[in-house]
Amino acid sequence: MKRTLIHNATIVNEGHSQCGSVVIEDGRIAEVLIYKNEPSAKNEPSTPCDEVIDATGCYLLPGIIDDHVHFREPGLTRKADILTESRAAAAGGVTSIMDMPNTNPQTTTLSALEEKFDLLNKKCIVNHSCYFGATNENYTEFGKLDKHRVCGIKLFMGSSTGNMLVDKTNSLLNIFDGTDMLIAAHCENQDIINQNTKVNKEKYRNEPDIPIDKHPTIRSVTACYESSELAVRMATIAGSRLHLLHVSTARELQLLSDAPLAEKRITSEACVGHLLFSFSDYATLGTRIKCNPAIKRKNNRDALRHAASIGIIDVIATDHAPHLLDEKAGGALKAMSGMPMIQYSLVSMLELVDKGIFTIETVVERMCHAPAVIFGIRQRGYIREGYQADLVLVRHNEPWEVNANDILSKCGWSPLEGHTFQWKVEKTFANGHLIYGDGQVDDTYRGEELRFDL
């Protein structure tokens, strides 16, 4: 049986960064060796290894778990598909993903769910699960779901791409009362959005579209807060497990807690785009950074960064949502909402480490440990003996520039084109298998289904 030694890395795990090595055997982490200047310290593998990877100068992290992606398959494969987007994930150090249900057909029936799993198993290079989408009527199906296989229920309390809006009070009550599975909610108040749209349409009635920098006034702070407050209130009354997706405003943070993660029934996510960009970036990036909820002003971005640094925000994910560039044409109404971010999510957050926004240990907590805890992912998200060998090696002070030729997402563009990063993903392992190294993705490998312990 092959044994691989990743030798002499800085291992970032469970709040510590320590020099050490990891042995991989049969897809799992067989040994974790932390180097200590003690006579009894275990600094060498118990038996010789067949392969040694010299990781001197590199940081070894658990593989990134992205709980919020749109891989667009089935039905929307002109802009992305499971193979292309999982290739981008592997190149970005992401080893596990959870796919959203607003595809065609929507993943809102048991048969569509099985079709999605079949596609993921056939095409996805990284480990995977998917959400079951809530509608105004299908809450009676929740009890038929395999809780160890399905990551959660996706609830759109605001209308976004795919229009899976759930807006009936009785339906919301049935959803929150109808399951002990995690409910992941997109929260924007549609009535407020509609009213803001009406005002802006009148103001710009002689223009071909509403300017893109009005997008955050349409999908406003109030629209986000009112919907999130309702979700938190309903979840609290029902005792539900609620995960607020892509929190985008400082005001919503008032609804959240910095209690230890293990004690929380209501958790939250911030997305890479909302942590990187702010209102001023519309001037240069325009509709490339249009997403729902909208990128807002700098005070909101900075509040999200602080909240993620101290544990009010629990998870950092991407909301990876590819569209073709011609679908991004127009302004606040006509341009499609969403950005392809998965290939550059980890290096983007490590850049914020360089800026003093986060520590590298915090990045690992929000992108690896916390998703594993919140979703109850079995034996992933940590560098522990016996866990699956989902690992990523990154190197610092290796400057490189994002250019179109290197973008693996099928849509072929990124809002980060032209940006120079100082961090670089060198190798990505899923279940001990090298799925990305030396700039190449192993297209022959298929990841495993995630399993959840409730």
User: What HEC string does the chain produce?
Assistant: CCEEEEEEEEEEECCEEEEEEEEEECCEEEEEEECCCCCCCCCCCCCCCCEEEECCCEEEEECEEEEEECCCCCCCCCCCCHHHHHHHHHHCCEEEEEECCCCCCCCCCHHHHHHHHHHHHHHCCCEEEECEECCCCHHHHHHHCCCCCCCCEEEECCCCCCCCECCCHHHHHHHHHCCCCCEEEECCCHHHHHHHHHHHHHHCCCCCCCCHHHHHHHCCHHHHHHHHHHHHHHHHHHCCCEEECCCCCCHHHHHCCCCCHHHCCEEEEEEHHHHHCCHHHHHHHHHHHCCCCCCCCHHHHHHHHHHHHHCCCCEEECCECCCCHHHHCCCCCCCCCCECCHHHHHHHHHHHHHCCCCCHHHHHHHHHHHHHHHHCECCCCCCCCCCECCEEEEEEEEEEECCHHHCCCCCCCCCCCCCEEEEEEEEEEECCEEEEECCEECCCCCCCECCECC
Residue 321 has φ and ψ, to the nearest 5°, of: -145, 85
Question: How much of the chain exceeds pLDDT 70, in percent?
Answer: 97
Q: Looking at residue 38, what is its pLDDT?
A: 52
CATH number for the domain spanning 284: value is 3.20.20.140
CATH number for the domain spanning 53: value is 2.30.40.10
Is the domain of 256 the same as that of 109? yes
Count of domains observed in the chain: 2
Worst-scoring range by mean pLDDT, 59-68, 165-174, 188-197, 237-246? 165-174
Residue 380 lies in a domain: no
Is the domain of 106 the same as that of 225? yes
Is the domain of 23 the same as that of 134? no
Residue 446 lies in a domain: no
Q: Looking at residue 39, what is its pLDDT?
A: 45
Residue 162: pLDDT band by 50, 70, 90 thresholds?
A: low
Q: Looking at residue 122, what is its pLDDT?
A: 98
Is the domain of 95 the same as that of 154? yes
Is the domain of 77 the same as that of 51? no
Q: Looking at residue 160, what is its pLDDT?
A: 57
Is the domain of 327 the same as that of 432? no
Q: Higher confidence at residue 168 or residue 142? A: 142
Is the domain of 304 the same as that of 427? no
Is the domain of 86 the same as that of 214? yes
Tell me the pLDDT tens digit for each residue of 339-354: 999 999 999 999 999 9
Question: Mean pLDDT throughout 294-319?
Answer: 98
Residue 74: pLDDT band by 50, 70, 90 thresholds?
A: very high
Residue 406 lies in a domain: no
Taking the model in full, what pTM does it have? 0.97
Q: Looking at residue 165, what is its pLDDT?
A: 86
Is the domain of 290 the same as that of 364? yes
Does position 40 have pLDDT exceeding 60, yes or no? Answer: no
Domain extent for 327: 64-375
Question: Mean pLDDT throughout 77-84?
Answer: 98
Q: Looking at residue 168, what is its pLDDT?
A: 85
Residue 174 lies in a domain: yes
Q: Looking at residue 343, what is its pLDDT?
A: 98
Residue 450 lies in a domain: no
Tell me the pLDDT tens digit for each residue of 357-386: 999 999 999 999 999 999 999 999 999 999
Question: Mean pLDDT throughout 224-247?
Answer: 97
Is the domain of 181 the same as that of 299? yes
Q: Looking at residue 230, what is its pLDDT?
A: 96
Residue 184 lies in a domain: yes
Q: Looking at residue 341, what is its pLDDT?
A: 98
Does position 129 have pLDDT exceeding 80, yes or no? Answer: yes
Residue 159: pLDDT band by 50, 70, 90 thresholds?
A: low
Tell me the pLDDT tens digit for each residue of 190-200: 999 999 999 99
Is the domain of 43 the same as that of 91? no
Residue 316 lies in a domain: yes
Is the domain of 46 the same as that of 183? no
Residue 412 lies in a domain: no
Does position 213 have pLDDT exceeding 70, yes or no? Answer: yes
Does position 20 have pLDDT exceeding 80, yes or no? Answer: yes
Instruction: Give the chain's mean pLDDT.
Output: 96
